[in-house]
Amino acid sequence: MSSKTFQLSEDWTVVVLGIGMIALALLGFVVPVPSFGWSNSQELSSKVFSGDNIAAMGLQFVLVYVTAIIGALLLKKDLKALLIVFPVVYLLTVLALILAGNSGVKSFNLEAVIFSLAIGLIISNFFKIPNWFKQALSTELYVKIGLVLLGTTVIFGDILKAGALGLVQALVVVVSVWYFAFWICKKLKIDKEMSLMLSSAVSICGVSAAIATSGAIEGDNKKLSYVISLVLITAVPMMIFMPYLAEIMNLSQEVTGAWLGGSIDTTGAVAASGTLVGEEALKISTIVKFSQNVLLGIAAFFISIYWTYSKSVDDKTKKDKPTLKVIWERFPKFVVGFVFVSLMFSFVISPETNAGIKNSLKSLQGLWFALAFTSIGLETNFKDLFKQDNKKPLYAFLIAQTFNIIVTLVLAMALFG
């Protein structure tokens, strides 16, 4: 009973903390967004390390630090250890954000989470980290707070404005590619947890989809890191070569944009590849990708229900259907917060109000994800992350991605040709 109470308390704590941060923004406490973009040492000094920017980092730190402390108090965790550990994790995460902000790095679409993970891994594998330090890392809490904040960017109204064709393509691609990827994983006898994360990453929106699915099923962090590594590694060559393939095939900008937006997993890579083709291709690719991103909330909700039901059918209950009470007890409550926030920002919060706070909340969302991956790195060994004796997840990902490219091309030609 105590274990269930703790789990429920943790998820509801995440909802309270996430909505609390949003409420502060709505009440006027909008934390400035720090800038991490730079191309040379002069810009690094004058922009990133300027007084105003350091002050913005400081305000953001105070907000996330206080939030983490409140979370520790509500969950009755070791507050003394957190007071020491969290600032260290934050500083390492800021280093990752600065590295990811370099213009050369951005051209390869290397996201901050991969640097957060790498820095944590380097430290954990070359230095001995005390157990009390590792126990104070709250990876799941950081991921789930970020996911609640992610709901502020899932605006259904924007899709209706963007156009029906983009939404139709997004729906068909997400459903067909997700089920194909899951079917491939099943054929290769990959465990269900990895299958769900991999299928969502390939079909919806890469990193965010993998994180959201992992949160919904309380997935293993090492499996999540592996899936995200696959997403980021494949996004770069796709971003570079797909525009040239489109040119060789003599595709129009509209078709090319729809193809890029539906095939490439990360939003940044979609924008970069669309820019290589032209203004119209950039516009269409953004609409299609954003349509897929919006479907993330719906997908996470149904994956949560599926996973909860699957867990409920254990040895004790397999002869009888689990009751709604059992399903509700095991359902990840932070998903309720995610959906609530998404609906609120879609239909209640005015566009003017949203415009004034969205950049701040999006920056905080990215920071929580980066903090989570720094924590994952600090508690993981290289061999656990990169040594995959079983290559089946890699094969499944590549097969599903190939299927994604072909299906999306056919749909793009049919709808935008």
Which is more confidently placed, 208 or 361? Answer: 361
CB count within 10 Å of CB 400 equals: 23
Residue pLDDT, tens place only, 95-107: 999 999 998 888 7
Which is more confidently placed, 36 or 159? Answer: 36
Separation CA 66–CA 70 (nearest Å): 6
Query: Residue 227's pLDDT band (boundaries 50, 70, 90)?
Result: confident
Domain segments of the chain as ranges:
2-416
pLDDT for position 386: 56
Amino acid at 46: S
Task: Give the DSSP letter string of 137-191.
Answer: --HHHHHHHHHHHHGGG--HHHHHHH-HHHHHHHHHHHHHHHHHHHHHHHHTT--
**Is 115 exposed, middle or buried, given 0-12, 13-18 or 19+ CB atoms closer than 10 A?**
buried
pLDDT for position 230: 82
pLDDT for position 337: 86
From residue 275, alpha-carbon distances to 37, 236, 338 in Å are: 19, 14, 32
Name the phi and psi angles at 78, rounded to 5: -70, 100
CB count within 10 Å of CB 324 equals: 9
Query: Residue 327's pLDDT band (boundaries 50, 70, 90)?
Result: low
The pTM for the full model equals 0.75
Nearest to 400 by CA among 191, 213, 174, 244: 174
| Buried/exposed 258-287: b ≥16 CB within 10 Å, e otherwise | bbbbbbbbbbbbbbbbbebbeeebbbbbbb
Separation CA 228–CA 210 (nearest Å): 7
End-to-end, the C-alpha distance of the chain in Å comes to 58
Running DSSP on this structure, what letter comes out for residue 47? I
Degrees to nearest 5, angle at CA 100 with 53 and 380? 115
Q: Judge whether 384 and 83 are in contact, CB under 8 Å.
A: no
Name the phi and psi angles at 122, rounded to 5: -60, -45
Does residue 351 surpass a pLDDT of 80? yes
Sign of the Cα torsion 219, 223, 228, 234 reads: negative
| Buried/exposed 175-211: b ≥16 CB within 10 Å, e otherwise | ebbbebbbebbeeeebeebbbbbbbbbbbbbbbbbbb
pLDDT for position 54: 97
Residue pLDDT, tens place only, 144-170: 898 889 888 777 665 565 567 777 888
Q: For the chain, how are helix, strand and coil distributed in percent, rounded to 5?
A: 80, 0, 20
From residue 320, alpha-carbon distances to 193, 243, 323, 327 in Å are: 23, 53, 9, 13
Query: Residue 5's pLDDT band (boundaries 50, 70, 90)?
Result: very low
Degrees to nearest 5, angle at CA 235 with 207 and 191? 55
**Mean pLDDT, residues 263-269 taken together:** 75
Does residue 75 surpass a pLDDT of 70? yes
Answer left, alpha or beta for residue 76, where phi above 0 means left and psi between -120 and 50 means alpha: left
The answer to which of 109-113, 279-283, 341-345, 413-417 has the lowest mean pLDDT is 109-113
Average pLDDT score over the chain: 84
**Mean pLDDT, residues 303-320 taken together:** 64
Does residue 249 surpass a pLDDT of 60? yes
